[in-house]
Amino acid sequence: MGFSILFLATGKGLLFTLAAILPIINPLATAPLFVDFTHGMDRHASHRLASSIGRHVVLLLAGALLIGSYVLRFFGVSLPVVRVAGGLIVASMAWQLLNTQRSANTDKAHMAQTLSDEDVSMSAFYPMTFPLTCGPGSISVAIAVGASLQTPVWGQTVANFAGGLVAVVLLGLIVTLTFRYADKLLGRLGEVGHIVFLRLMAFILLCVGIEIMWEGVRALWGELAVMH
């Protein structure tokens, strides 16, 4: 297998993973909660907390991407079924995002309000990372993406996962930077800009969900054809 093919596979894995997971995590939607959590903290402590959340996001998503599908296979769930189910979840989330009038974070805001200022420094993983930033939806999408990155060719699979892991690191970096500069970003983007950004990401996510589901359906159809 040539270097150019492996390079393209790595790029495809990177873009595919980034496009699938970024709209679900949507750090801009969680940024106001981070500002509330860190209200009254000094800037250094706030930046340290943002970095911790970013690292936790990378670990969660990388684990789901690499071994999530194998865990499901251990319980007897095949990869094509994982792709179909994951694609349905992604498409459903995208459809909801496309049809919602504005981003709703009522449950997240309620959870944020239950913590005192003293608890903020201890909340890097729960609830700021899980479930506020990287919840069950993000993890399930990462598992579906990991299943889609697997191919019969070992070298191409490695390249796909290499790109996927780079995307996961970029996602952690995006979360970290978004939270660090949440005040400035929210002020510049505004409500209208946030809605436009959300709609664009939702449409891309819908396309990715259909693609994941189609790969699963095609694989199941191939298995039926072999059986007959």
pLDDT tens-digit readout, 34-81: 877 777 777 888 899 999 999 999 999 999 999 988 887 788 887 788
24 burial level (CB within 10 Å; 0-12, 13-18, 19+): buried
Lookup: tokens for 207: 């396309």
Domain count, the chain: 1
Q: Is the pTM of this model over 0.85?
A: no
Contact by Cβ (8 Å): 93, 25: no
Show the domain range for 25: 3-227
- For 161-170, write each residue's pLDDT tens digit: 999 999 999 9
